[in-house]
Amino acid sequence: MSSSSAAPAAKPPMRDALVAAAFRLFLDRGYEQTTVDDIVALAGVGRRSFFRYFPSKEDVVFPDHERCLADMTAFLAAGDEEHEPVRRVCDAARMVLGMYAENPAFSVQRYRLTRKVPGLRAYELSVVWRYERALAEYLRGRFAGRPDGTLRADVIAAAVVAAHNNALRSWLRSDGTGDAGAAVDHALGCVQRAFGHAADASAEAVPGGPVPAGERTAHPDDVVVLVSRRDSPVWRVVQEWESALGRP
Amino acid sequence: MSSSSAAPAAKPPMRDALVAAAFRLFLDRGYEQTTVDDIVALAGVGRRSFFRYFPSKEDVVFPDHERCLADMTAFLAAGDEEHEPVRRVCDAARMVLGMYAENPAFSVQRYRLTRKVPGLRAYELSVVWRYERALAEYLRGRFAGRPDGTLRADVIAAAVVAAHNNALRSWLRSDGTGDAGAAVDHALGCVQRAFGHAADASAEAVPGGPVPAGERTAHPDDVVVLVSRRDSPVWRVVQEWESALGRP
């Protein structure tokens, strides 16, 4: 789980009370059948208080995305040239996972609700789109001037979001049991291997596989000699190359 | 441009007239300011005719997506084990491009409209999501039983959609000038190189680059010997490997 560069803002208790009241009603009588008036009545506050925190009923379903988007954008903006770009966007994606994993019961409830209400699904797609654009914009900046820079940025951002969401959905479907962080790390690891930089590799590489750990060196000029069948799929060549570098 | 496996259904003239009337009004007075009553009045038909073709005002903005989704699903279902899966989903994505390229002026108009109206943007995201799911479901079937099969399927589907949309957007922003097909082919080629199978490669490969064309053979058991700096990013290794295979 990555920590945000900005300290998380304290959540006002009234805001939390509104979210709790809303979800109790959504689960009891259904999302469509619940009005903002019902929510404020149960929370014991006025309508104006509701709209101070949430522009619409949909927004109370996703109370933390705006904060998470802001944190993620700040995290990306705080990066410098030393951060390998693909790793940086993977770390940014882990911030979203952190938001879900903070409160598994709430996240699972919301997942079930979102699957039942088409309007919420559409809302969620627009949020996912905003995360993806934040990652893509960062990568576009990092890849500026390179051939196919915007193409690479868009493709990698989409791959990161898809990998993150694949792991997140599995975790939500398992009712929030299991290690969400490990699942997302594994999924993002696949994307990093496909697109990332190998500057952190430290294994000696020879044809046929890694040499014993005792013989590892860290000269950046070392070469990898890879022997592959030429009808191998690209991903297998990448796997072999990773393996030659001594990575799992 | 891939052709669909199903013959395109003839478009009823009344449906076309409704689309034409709707777009004339959207451009003249704005999307939000145009009602279904305005559209049917201009087209000279009754409200019932409108709703026979379009469930809502939003649907008239995207009159061909349902057909295209159906065609794409049929195209994917018609594939067999001989089709390399990543190439197949790239070909499926080209069907969407074909729909846009069929009528550049209309596609550019719609692009501008969609960027101005948040509701249409949300609608479009849900359509893109359905395309992506169609590709992912196909790949999940093809990768069934493989380690990380669903993860790979989701990531590749997202990468294909992102690459397609990157090229499509560039073309739409250039007012539909230029060769949309070539731009999408280039973008999808990058995804195929990252994730696809190289069974169609026919170049001899030796360290340092391809041998002269006259010496090329096509033995599938031939090996590629690739020498790379070990701090090369994965994508560069893939590029070198492609280049060793004699591919551009």
Side chain identity at B120, as an amino acid letter? L
How much of chain A, in percent, has pLDDT values that exceed 90?
A: 62
**Residue B15: Cβ within 10 Å count:** 17
Does B153 lie in the same domain as B94? Answer: yes
End residue of a domain, out of A172, A195, A218? A195
| Confidence (pLDDT) at A237 | 66
User: What confidence tier does A234 reach under pLDDT thresholds 50, 70, 90?
Assistant: low
User: Considering the domain boundaries, does residue A129 fall inside one?
Assistant: yes
Chain B, window 199-228: residues with a beta carbon less than 8 angstroms from a chain A beta carbon? 199, 201, 203, 205, 207, 220-228
Query: A166 in contact with B at a CB cutoff of 8 Å?
Result: yes
What is the spatial distance between Cα B90 and Cα B72, in angstroms, rounded to a whole number? Answer: 11
What is the spatial distance between Cα B24 and Cα B39, in angstroms, rounded to a whole number? Answer: 9
**Exposure b/e, B148-162, CB count within 10 A at least 16 = b:** eebbbbbbbbbbbbb
Does B142 lie in the same domain as B89? Answer: yes
Query: A135 in contact with B at a CB cutoff of 8 Å?
Result: no
Residues contacting B64, CB < 8 A, separation 6+: B99
**Which one, of A211, A169, A2, lies nearest residue A87 by Cα?**
A2
Does B212 lie in the same domain as B147? Answer: no
Lookup: tokens for A38: 């019902």
Q: Using CB atoms, which residue from B201, B230, B233 is nearest to A223?
A: B230
| Confidence (pLDDT) at B10 | 58
Spatial contact of B176 and B105, defined as CB atoms under 8 Å apart: yes
What is the spatial distance between Cα A110 and Cα A161, in angstroms, rounded to a whole number? Answer: 19
Lookup: tokens for A202: 């430290």
Side chain identity at B61, as an amino acid letter? V
Query: A56 in contact with B at a CB cutoff of 8 Å?
Result: no
User: Considering the domain boundaries, does residue A23 fall inside one?
Assistant: no
Which range marks the domain in which residue B221 is found? Answer: 205-244
Does B214 lie in the same domain as B169? Answer: no
User: Considering the domain boundaries, does residue B6 fall inside one?
Assistant: no
User: Considering the domain boundaries, does residue B143 fall inside one?
Assistant: yes
Structurally, chain B folds into a number of domains equal to 2
pLDDT digits (tens, 9 = 90+) for A154-212: 999 999 999 999 999 999 999 989 899 999 999 999 998 888 753 333 222 323 333 33
User: Considering the domain boundaries, does residue A230 fall inside one?
Assistant: yes
| Confidence (pLDDT) at A226 | 61
User: Considering the domain boundaries, does residue B107 fall inside one?
Assistant: yes
- Residue A186: which CATH number? 1.10.357.10
pLDDT digits (tens, 9 = 90+) for A17-73: 999 999 999 999 999 999 999 999 999 999 999 999 999 999 999 988 999 999 999
User: Considering the domain boundaries, does residue A22 fall inside one?
Assistant: no
Q: Is B47 helix (H, G, I), strand (E, B) or coil?
A: helix
Distance between B178 CA and the closest CA of chain A, angstroms: 17
Does A168 lie in the same domain as A91? Answer: yes
Task: Tally the C-alpha atoms within 13 A of residue A186's C-alpha that lie toward its C-beta.
Answer: 14
Q: What pTM was computed for the model?
A: 0.75
Does B116 lie in the same domain as B169? Answer: yes
Helix (H) or strand (E) holding A228: strand A223-229
Does B185 lie in the same domain as B90? Answer: yes
Query: B82 in contact with A at a CB cutoff of 8 Å?
Result: no
Per-residue pLDDT of chain B (248 residues; tens, 9 = 90+): 444 444 555 556 899 999 999 999 999 999 999 999 999 999 999 999 999 999 999 999 998 899 999 999 999 999 888 899 999 999 999 999 999 999 899 999 999 999 999 889 888 999 999 999 999 999 999 999 999 999 999 999 999 999 999 999 999 999 989 899 999 999 999 998 888 753 333 222 323 333 333 333 333 445 565 656 666 666 666 666 666 665 54
- What single-letter DSSP state applies at residue B12? P
- Helical H segments across chain B, by residue range: 13-29, 36-43, 47-53, 57-61, 65-77, 85-102, 104-116, 118-142, 149-173, 180-195, 234-244
| Confidence (pLDDT) at B236 | 64
How far apart, in Å, are the Cα atoms of A98 and each of A85, A93, A181? 20, 9, 8
Does A217 lie in the same domain as A142? Answer: no
Contacts of residue B93 in chain A, CB cutoff 8 Å? none
Spatial contact of A206 and A240, defined as CB atoms under 8 Å apart: no
User: Considering the domain boundaries, does residue A21 fall inside one?
Assistant: no
What is the spatial distance between Cα A24 and Cα A29, in angstroms, rounded to a whole number? Answer: 9
